[in-house]
Amino acid sequence: MKALTFKRYGKSPDIGLANIDRPTLQPDELLVQVHAAGLNPIDNMIPVGTFKPVMHFKLPAVLGSDLAGVVVDVGSRVTRFKPGDEVFASIFDLGKGSLAEFAAVPESAAALKPANLDFVQAASIPMVGLTSWQALKERMNLRRGQKVFIPAGSGGIGTFAIQLAHQLGAKVGTTVSTGNIELVRNLGADEIVDYKKQAFETVLRGYDGVLGTVKGDTLEKSLDILKPGSRIVSLIGPLDAAFAEAKKLNFLLKFVFGLMSRKLLKLSGKKGVDYAFLFVRPDGQQLAEIGELLKAERIRPVIDKVFPFDEAKQALDYLALGRAKGKVVVRIR
């Protein structure tokens, strides 16, 4: 089968299409014929080695985490799916890749594709949907009437997280450029800061949570807008010792990650703010609940651009520019 692979870690990972064997199916897995694969920023970070200490691939490895497609075979222990089912899933951090004609998907990671979405739309959802769900519902316990700051609201994660926070009854603040103000307002954002004209920390006040999506000093600045007892959940670091503990990493990595997060933990502690780094996990049950919101059209996919499979590498390059409004998706079938 055809797949987009990388052959080594580093500045020259040798990313390209290659012919490889179909995945070998385990008893608890589905063999999915992939129709579309959604891209995420981490797909560009993995080959250069950013997460090499905590994510393990057998090289050459298939890139990609999100997929939508049709089940063509099931393992002997699978009970919830059958051949012919249309599914979507994230296989992030499972040592597998989705940018391929076929993918092996654990039954626990898959959910039935909402019937009102096509494969491209469905493939755009899993990682941003699960990340938003786990950050806002699990970690922040975001409730009706609270306020959450979601910077970079027009990006892949922002366009979904704003909608989910809105569905949870929260007020949403975000930052965008002038041309994206109407987009995020239509998604449910309440307080919108044009970052080219104003600094968000001088405008926003009284927030209960921050979703960390932007590198740099945004997290430190966001401490100025938070109330005591609020929470920061970061998707971009710094990694912390609690993450190393959860991943069962060695003592050295736990120590290093503790050092990396020490400054922010100290600053947030002074403000009475809780900080946590989130590494999203695949979860088919949560994805099914997200699917119900999509089916009811309470949340909608936001897609910037769709690339054919032969241009999958160009799709990653486009995503790396950081200008996408919503998600970038590769159509495989």
The whole-angstrom separation of Cα 58 and Cα 158 is 32
Answer yes or no: are the C-beta atoms of 136 and 128 closer than 8 Å.
no
55-85 burial, b at 16+ Cβ within 10 Å, e below that, comes to bebeebbbbbbbbbbbbebbbeebeebeeeb
The whole-angstrom separation of Cα 39 and Cα 239 is 22
CATH 3.90.330.10 fits 2-125+301-331, yes or no: no
Answer yes or no: are the C-beta atoms of 161 and 136 closer than 8 Å.
yes
Nearest Cα neighbor of 230 from 289, 170, 187 is 170
Q: Indicate the pTM of the whole model.
A: 0.94
H or E element that contains 131: helix 126-133
Q: What count of residues does the chain have? A: 333
Give the relative orientation of helices 126-133 and 156-167 as an angle to the nearest 10 degrees.
50
Residue position matching structure tokens 């088919």: 284
> Cα torsion for 265, 267, 272, 278, to the nearest 10°?
-40
The whole-angstrom separation of Cα 131 and Cα 65 is 13
Q: So what's the pLDDT on residue 214?
A: 85
CATH topology of domain 128-277: Rossmann fold (3.40.50)
Nearest Cα neighbor of 150 from 193, 111, 107 is 193
Q: So what's the pLDDT on residue 241?
A: 81
CA angle 182, 177, 219 (to 5 degrees): 115
Answer yes or no: are the C-beta atoms of 205 and 226 closer than 8 Å.
no
Nearest Cα neighbor of 5 from 84, 91, 98, 72 is 98
The whole-angstrom separation of Cα 281 and Cα 291 is 17
Per-residue pLDDT 10s for the chain (333 aa) are 999 999 999 989 999 999 999 999 999 999 999 999 999 999 999 999 888 888 888 899 999 999 999 999 999 999 999 999 999 999 999 999 999 999 999 999 999 999 999 999 999 999 999 999 999 999 999 999 999 999 999 999 999 999 999 999 999 999 999 999 999 999 999 999 999 999 999 999 999 999 998 887 888 999 999 999 999 999 987 778 888 887 777 888 888 888 878 888 898 889 899 999 999 999 999 999 999 999 999 999 999 999 999 999 999 999 999 999 999 999 999
Write down the domain spans for the chain: 2-125+301-331, 128-277
Q: What is the pLDDT of residues 68-119, one digit of tens each?
A: 999 999 999 999 999 999 999 999 999 999 999 999 999 999 999 999 999 9
Q: So what's the pLDDT on residue 86?
A: 98
The whole-angstrom separation of Cα 155 and Cα 150 is 10
Answer yes or no: are the C-beta atoms of 226 and 211 closer than 8 Å.
no
Q: What is the pLDDT of residues 167-176, one digit of tens each?
A: 999 999 999 9
The whole-angstrom separation of Cα 135 and Cα 166 is 14
Query: E strands of the chain, at which residues?
Result: 2-6, 16-19, 29-38, 61-62, 66-74, 86-90, 102-106, 110-112, 147-149, 171-176, 191-194, 207-212, 226-234, 274-277, 303-308, 327-331
Q: So what's the pLDDT on residue 248?
A: 79
Answer yes or no: are the C-beta atoms of 58 and 78 closer than 8 Å.
no
Amino acid of residue 158:
G
